[in-house]
Each structure stands twice: as C-alpha cells, then as structure tokens.
Structure 1
Amino acid sequence: MNTRRAARVKAPGVITLETIDDAPPPGPGEVAVELVACGICGSNLHHLNRPELVGADRRDSPGAMGHEMVGRVVAVGPDVSTHEVGDPVVLEPQLAASCGTCDGCATGQAWFCTEPRPLPVWGFADRMVVRAPGAWPLPRDLDPLVATLVEPVAVSVHALRITATAMSRNDDLTGVKVVVLGAGAMGLLTVAAARHLGCDVVVSVARHEHQARLAARLGAHRVLRDGAPDLDSTLAELTPDLVVECVGGSADTFERALRITGPGGEISVMGLFDEPQPVHSRAVFKRQLRVVFPVVYGTMRGRHDFDIAIELLRDAEQPFGELLTDRFALEDIEAAFSAAGSKSGGVIRVVVGRTEQDLLGR
C-alpha cells in the first residue's frame, strides 16, 4: 500500500513526522487533495504545548493538526461535479469534516455540526480526503502561500461580523471606532479586515516594532505600543465603539478591553485564555457593554466569511505576503513549530510547505 507523511503531537511539546497509509480514493461527495502549504496558528501552539487546554477536537484524530490548508485537487468522487483535477483549493475545516445535513450544517454554521466526521490527518501532511464543500475554490491568481491566510482572515472577518455593531449596519463599519488589542498575525489580520469592512478609525496596540510597522501598512490609522504608561488612558479617551481582543493566553487584555470600551460599546474576544477571566460588573455596568465570543466562521447574511477573506486577500496593494515571515518544508516540522513559538525575533506567521518546491511556488 502507498504511504503518506503526517505530523502528529505525541506528547506535550513533542511533534513528529510519521509515515502512515495513504489516503483512500474519494468516495461519493468527496475530493482528494494534495496539500501544498499550511500555516501554524496560535491554537496549534496551545495544542502542542498544553494539550490539556485544547483536548481532542470532535473533527480530529488524536494529535492531528493544521487547519490553514491550501492544496490542489488530485481526484474527485464519482458524483462530484463542483471540482476538477488540478483545481487550487483552500480547505474550510468545519465543512471538510462535517456531516452536511444536520441543522448546524444546513444553516451555514458547520461548527455546530451534530455528527462530525473526524479526519485521520490535517494540514501537516501530504494528502487528505475531504467532503467536496470543504474544498473552497481559489482564484488562480492568488499566491498559494498567501492563501494559507484565508482561514485566519475568515476568523477575523467573523469576529467583526458576529458583533451587534456589524449586524445593525449590514457589515458596513463606516464611522465605527475599532481598537485591536494585539498585533500578532490575528491582530494584524483583524486590522485589515476592519478596514475592508469600511472602518475608517482603526487603532492597533502592538508590542514589538515589526508588528507596529505592519499594523500601519495594513491600514491602522494609529498604532500604540503595549507597555506605554499612559496606554489605558489613551485608549479610554478614544471611547471605542468596538474592541477586538486578539491575545488570550495569560495576558490581561480582556480586563483592559472592559476598562477602555466606550459607553454602549462592544467587545469581541478572539483570544483563547488559559484561565477564567474575571468580570467586575460594578465597574462596567454603567456603560452597558456587550461581549461576544466568536467561534471560527460560517455563513451570515448570505455570505460565508471565506468569501470575504478571499476577496480581501486579493487586494494587491496590501502586504499580506510579508506576514509569512518564516517557511519550512514538512520534514522540518519540529523546527517550524520552534520558530512559530518565538514572538520577539520578527516572526509573525510560519508556513509549512509539503515540499521545498511548494514553498518556492513552483
């Protein structure tokens, strides 16, 4: 039997590349995808270093990781007419491993699928078979490495669109003052997403100089530095309508968001915190704040967040390629994760290519 490579988390802090049986031929409603590249995101690092905080996802086999996936179709199931061999695709993980028929799937919210189908491998592998609706067609003029950002951009887009602020304006954020806490990859992409949705006042809070530079280039009107003694007072004076928290972990950014949001404002919490976060209701109730905890992406108001993400990434004037600061081949998966865990050395996003040729775009 033919084989393929797949990376798995074996123990806290340990990820290895294994050789396993190759993907089977696609069945009805499925396509086989040869993976080209996959990004490493913050949740992957949580999974690697503290798997007890993440647990086994309903769509994963134990230890399988990688959901910022780009590839090309290499085979289609007998009844699939939506794809052809050679099509470039980005994989939408929830659709790729959902049942496609339950109420969650039928309403465009596949995260809430009641009968998910766990996949044996994810993006840090050579090949995989998925449901055809989960293989999202890509424009052929979109750089496949930049396309690894479709999934995280969709997360940022969803974090904005799920708010009451965006709902009441039909996704038009014109005139809305947005503060983005954190300028890692997700914070930077949220800046770009806010601008794409029309926001004309975006403030980014960045810790490192390279993050601050990119935040400005991606459209932030003002970039403040984390650690400045007057940061909270400066942010509060802005009276932001919407604060997007993009840090999580052990940071104090949820508490900061509660302190700085303007009256009647809203907080969208993207970061995954390691510990429960306190809410001092007496200190915030007079401002009548709303807090939403967005979950990945889906279809809202007739559009899937992936559609908007692809539209955003096709903006040739935006320096999205500069977010992909480090590139590794699949056989160097351990070094890739080591680099991704470094936040101060200029690393923003690490992308893992199936081969060296894929990383070079050949």
Structure 2
Amino acid sequence: MKTLVVEKDGSLSLHEVPIPKYSSKQALVRTISCGICNGTDAKLIHHTFKGYTKKDYPIMLGHEAVGEVVEVGSEVTSFRPGDKVLLPFVDPNPELYGNLGSGWGAFSEYGIVNDPAAYGSGVPECAFAQTILPDFVDPVDAAMIVTLREVLSSIKRFGIRENQSVAVFGCGPVGQTFIRFLSLLGVHPIIAFDIVDGKLDDALAKGADYAFNSAKVDVKETIRGICPDGVQYVLDAVGMLSLINQAMEYITDAGKICCYGIAPTCELNLDWSKAPYNWQLQFQQFPSKAEEGEATNQILSWLKTGVIDLKDYISDYFEFDHILDAFKQLEERKIAKKGIVVYPRP
C-alpha cells in the first residue's frame, strides 16, 4: 500500500509499504477518506508537535480517516466487512516498516481498528473512538466528524455551559466549529475575534452574537462593553501564545482561559498582575478518545436532523494521488476550511 511520510528534513513523500497486520482483536480497514489537519499535521511536518523529536522521523502522517472494514480478526464481534468506521490508524511495526514511525498513519491506503468487546482488559484508548458510521452519513465527508467530536468533547472538558459568556479567538475551521457548537448548546453571549474580515461574517452565521477584527478594535474595551465584568471563558482556537497574558484582562472573577489551539512554542513568561484574584488556565490539546467516542452520538443526531451539515465545514477535496499538492496548498494557506483526501474505490 501507499502511505504519506514526513521525512527527517520535513519533506513529504509517498512510500510503498506492506499492508498492516491485524490481530485477533482487530480489523483491517480500506481507507475511504482522510481529513487534512492544519494543526497537528502541519506541526508534525514542521517538527513542532510536542512529544516528537527529529529522531522519531520519518513518520507516517494522518489521523482523521474513515474506512471500510475488509477483514476481521477471529475474536472481533463489533465489526463486520462492509462497515464504515472512523479513525483507523497504522502503528509502527519494525518487522513491517523498519524505522518508519507513526504520526497515526491515517494517510495510508489501509489501517487498523480495534474491537473493545474483544478485550477483557487493556483496551487501547483509540478503540473507544473507532466507531461505526450509520448509512445516512457520506463516508467521504465523514472525515470531518473527527474534528467535530474533538471540539464537542473539548467544550465539555472545559466546562462551558448554557448561558455562560465566551470570547473565541480564531475563526478558522476549528474556531467556526466551536462557535457553532457553543451556540447549539445555548452558550451566550459568544464574542468572536479574528484578524481576517471575511471570517467574521462566517462566525456570525455559525451563531456568534458578535464578531470583531481584533487588529482593528481595542479587544479589552470591546469585551467589557458587552460584558462589563469580563467574560467567563476566553477560548484560544488557533494557538496564539500571547493571548494567555492578554486574556487576563478579558475574564471575570473565577474566569477561565481555555487553550485548544497548539502554539508553536511551549514557553511563556506568565504575568497575571492584571488578572482577577481568582482565575483558571486550562490546556486541552490532546482530546481523550473515550470522550470523543461519547460525543459521537450527539454529532450524529445533529447530522440526522439537519442541524449541522458536514459540507459547511469542507472547502476542498483532493484525490489521494494528488496528496502532495494538497499539502502544498495547505502550506500556501489556500485551503479555506477543511481539505479532504479521497482514496480510489476498488
């Protein structure tokens, strides 16, 4: 099979490698689609993803795939051939792949899912998010569900609830998703900020009560004009390290600064001299797969009832043979929303 690899120098190439082996508790999946992540994927390419060093490269890339089960292990009861499933991965395997590591390896033509029911104990955490898709969901567009449920599970982890105030910084694909889901969950007011005017109308359409260009307004005065005591939550959806100190002046007493976006560096001189006496800082940058799995039913319910439409979050589709061009467009910031890589069908 072919798999997309990040080389030691950060370049991308397609490698021909063996199809992964599966155990009695696993199933083999033929990939249908995989989303391009402008956070994790880009940082892995640039060697800035925490936990990976240059000695871990080369690595197989990708973590937002959908596939069709083609073979199942002898102990598998939850999957059967033909099922469409979320989140197949390809793990490192020195016997098959030598020194080729894995950044989850979902940009491969085949992957593996685990059956939780086949494990008495020691279920791999990813198994809880490797869920079967219902027939009403397009399996190509379904790659977007991976991001959607990451966002929904993170809202719950942050503790943001109905009728609480939040300022969202960053109105890219992830920020727009946060805004839409916060609105659906009854969070109010939602104040959105970005430095690109064109994204502000999208934020309002997704459910923001207010949207401002943070380069053109005094952010503190703007927030305090709407919420005189400050907002209960500031949510960083883009990974802007400087926002943490700035947000000290935006939050109310006992307010929380929520960091979802992954910053390019992990060091900061923290200055809370302008913060309220009581405040919190929470990082949620590696979603729990168990919590993702729990969020799946709500996402599917919204899809089935038409409350959300996956195509609203997707701007580009690329054939797998053109995946290198897809990542070139990502680097050039030409993918407006989510880009989906589509694999050839047998």
Residues 216 and 225 of structure 1: is their aligned pair in 2 closer, same or farther, counting only changes over 3 Å? same
| Partner residue of 2:255 out of 248, 258, 265 | 265
Q: How far off is 1:21 after superposition?
A: 1.2
CA drift at 1:33: 0.8
Does 2:193 match 1:180?
A: no
Answer yes or no: is 1:154 the counterpart of 2:149: yes
- The one of 351, 356, 359 aligned to 2:340: 351
Contact 1:17 1:331 in 2 (8 A): no
Residues 247-268 of structure 1: CA distance to partner in whole angstroms, max 9, x if unpaired? 115x532233322112221121
What is residue 125 of structure 1 aligned with on the other side?
108
The 3 A distance-change label for structure 1 pair 62 and 308 is farther
Secondary structure in structure 1 of the residue aligned to 2:79: coil
CA distance in 2, matches of 1:120, 1:347: 24
Paired residue for 1:142? Answer: 137
Task: State yes or no: 1:241 paired with 2:232.
Answer: yes
Match of 1:45 in 2: 42
Give 1:309 deviation, angstroms. 3.6
The one-character-per-residue Cα deviations of 1:152-179 (angstroms, maximum 9, x if unpaired) are: 122212221112x44xxxxxx2211121
Cα 1:53/1:346, change in 2 over 3 Å: closer
TM-score by length of 2: 0.82
More divergent stretch after superposition (77-86 vs 12-21)? 12-21
Q: How far off is 1:72 after superposition?
A: 1.2
Equivalent in the alignment of 2:323: 333
1:289 to 2:264 alignment = no
1:143, distance to aligned residue in structure 2 (A): 2.1
Say if 1:176 and 1:201, in contact at 8 Å, map to a contact too: yes
For 1:340, the aligned partner's letter is L
SS in 2 for 1:352: strand
Note if contact 1:218-1:318 (Cα within 8 Å) is conserved in structure 2: no
Indicate if the aligned counterparts of 2:169 and 2:235 stay in contact, CA closer than 8 A: yes
Identical columns (%) = 19
Unpaired runs of at least 5, structure 2: 92-100, 117-126
Distance 1:324 1:229, change over 3 A: same
Q: Residue by residue, what CA displacement relative to the aligned partner does 1:265-296 show, whole Å, maximum 9, x if unpaired?
A: 1121011112212321222142x111111131
Unaligned ranges ≥5, structure 1: 98-117, 167-172
- What TM-score do you get using the length of structure 1 for normalisation? 0.79
**Which residue identity is paired with 2:114?**
R
Q: What secondary structure is seen at the aligned counterpart in 1 of 2:179?
A: helix
Aligned partners of 2:72 and 2:80 also within 8 Å: yes
Map of 2:301 onto structure 1:
311
Q: Quote the Cα distance in structure 2 between the aligned partners of 1:40 and 1:303.
A: 20
1:319 to 1:152, Cα distance in 2 relative to 1, 3 A = same
Give the Cα separation in 2 of the matches to 1:329 and 1:68.
16
Contact 2:77 2:115 survives alignment (8 Å): no
Distance 1:7 1:119 in 2: 10
SS of the equivalent of 1:158 reads helix
Distance in 2, Cα, partners of 1:256 & 1:352: 37
Q: CA deviation at 1:66?
A: 0.8
**Alpha-carbon separation, structure 2, partners of 1:314 and 1:54:** 37
Partner of 2:119: none
**SS of match in other structure, 2:221:** helix
Q: Does 1:207 align with 2:195?
A: yes
Say whether 1:29 aligns with 2:12: no
Tell me, in whole angstroms, the C-alpha distance in 1 between the residues paired with 2:87 and 2:20.
Answer: 16
Aligned equivalents of 2:173, 2:59: Cα separation in 1: 23
Flag the 1:202–1:229 CA change in 2: closer, same or farther, 3 A.
closer
